[in-house]
Amino acid sequence: MDRSTDRAGRRMEFGPFTWTGGEHSPAFRFGHALADDPMLELEAIAMLADRLRPDLIETAASDRGRVEAGFRPVAWSGPRASSAVREVAERRLWVAISLIEEDPLYRGWIGELFGEFCAAAGIAAAAVGQPEGYLFVSAANTTVPFHVDHENNLFFQVRGRKQFTVGYFADEARKSTAFEGMYSHEYGAVDREPVGLVTHDLQPGSGLFIGPDCVHSVATEGELSISLSLVWGTPVLRRYAKVYAVNHHLRRLGLDPRAPGRSTVIDGSKAAAATAWRGLRSLTERRPR
């Protein structure tokens, strides 16, 4: 069934796809009309970077391997974040700009894009909440090592070409280790290539959806690249995140905790404990006025 809409001005074109709302949803390709959108031009992105909080701009050197367990981008520390965007080719950088919806000019624009996807998928936007927007500007021949995000990711290739390689964990133990680390202030990079690898060649106007448990690496080809990601969670993913965080601490105590999704009762208890702990920390860490 063709899930594309017929209304004028649509910016995405979907063929048949499945979105489950859980940890595992199959990857699927789609088309889009954002390659010429002025909101995604290099200069517009540079100006956006200066309007956002500095901690939302992260960079990494472009020369990486596909597997680097210690990979983690760093916050931009230069005088103006726009210089990282404008000089990404000269500096040989990969630049990630997070939470672009915090900018008023981009907030409504992202909401409209996500609304198109929700209409195509047949889901109520209110059921998943506001998506987060990320922009990536990469020098030519940049590689981002394999990592996980644990979110639904609608990825738009806007400028240049990328090889987007997707796979899955070989077993539940490796998956738990990666997600437990990610929810304990690590980046989510993995120490070995996943299994079942599929590489998608993305050009301007092509897009890819990947599910929360996909391990992925992206490689920019011989020119500067601009990409957009819309990511969102679900109540299930938010509960699993709390379980993974609790499991990380239990494992440090020498225990072998059960992965999320196997027991609703146990997951609920861990999620409640995580919520209570975070609430207690927020109270005890408050400073007197």
pLDDT score at 136: 98
- One domain, residues 137 and 245: no
Q: Is residue 2 part of a domain?
A: no
63-76 pLDDT per residue, tens: 899 999 889 999 99
Kindly state whether residue 85 falls inside one of the protein's structural domains. Answer: yes
In a shared domain, residues 158 and 218: yes
Report how far apart, in Å, the C-alpha atoms of 46 and of each of 5, 104, 113, 170, 205 are: 32, 15, 21, 39, 21
Nearest to 98, CA basis, from 164, 187, 20, 162: 187
Residues 197 and 246 in one domain: no
160 and 115 within one domain: yes
- Please give the structure tokens belonging to residue 118: 């929700």
What's the mean pLDDT in 175-204? 90
Examine residue 103 and state whether it is found in any structural domain, yes or no. Answer: yes
- Average pLDDT over the chain, rounded to whole? 88
Distances (CA, A) of 179 to 48, 147, 170, 189, 279: 31, 10, 14, 10, 22
**The amino acid at 51:** R
pLDDT > 70 in the chain, percent: 93
In a domain, 175, yes or no: yes
Structure tokens at 70: 């210690």
User: The CATH number of the domain where 74 resides is what?
Assistant: 2.60.120.650
Task: Check whether residue 222 and residue 263 sit in a common domain.
Answer: no
pLDDT band at 4 (very low <50, low <70, confident <90, very high): very low
The answer to whether 225 and 164 have CB atoms below 8 angstroms apart is no
Contact 29, 200 (CB under 8 A): yes
Task: Assess if residue 145 is contained within a domain.
Answer: yes
**Are 205 and 166 found together in one domain?**
yes
54 in the same domain as 159: yes
Q: Which domain holds residue 272?
A: 237-284
Q: What is the 3-state secondary structure (H, E, C) of 128-182?
A: HCCCEEEEEEECCCCEEEEECCCCEEEEEEEECCEEEEEEECCCHHHHHHHHHHH
Residue 3 belongs to a domain: no
Under a CB-based contact definition with an 8 Å cutoff, are residues 226 and 45 in contact? yes
Assess whether 206 and 256 both reside in one domain.
Answer: no
Q: Are the C-beta atoms of residues 146 and 193 closer than 8 Å to each other?
A: yes
**pLDDT at residue number 278:** 66
CA 217 to chain centroid, in Å, comes to: 12
178 close to 130: Cβ distance less than 8 angstroms: no
Regarding whether 244 and 117 lie in a shared domain, the answer is no
Beta strands in 169-239 (DSSP E): 195-202, 206-210, 215-220, 225-232
Nearest to 204 by CA among 84, 70, 36: 36
- Residue 57 pLDDT > 90: yes
Are 122 and 183 in a shared domain?
A: yes
Q: Is residue 1 part of a domain?
A: no
Question: 214-257 pLDDT, tens per residue?
Answer: 999 999 999 999 999 999 988 888 888 899 889 988 988 888 88
- Do the domain assignments include residue 6? no
Residues 249 and 158 in one domain: no
Are 32 and 76 members of one domain? yes
CB of 187 closer than 8 Å to CB of 71 = yes
How many domains does the structure of the chain reveal?
2
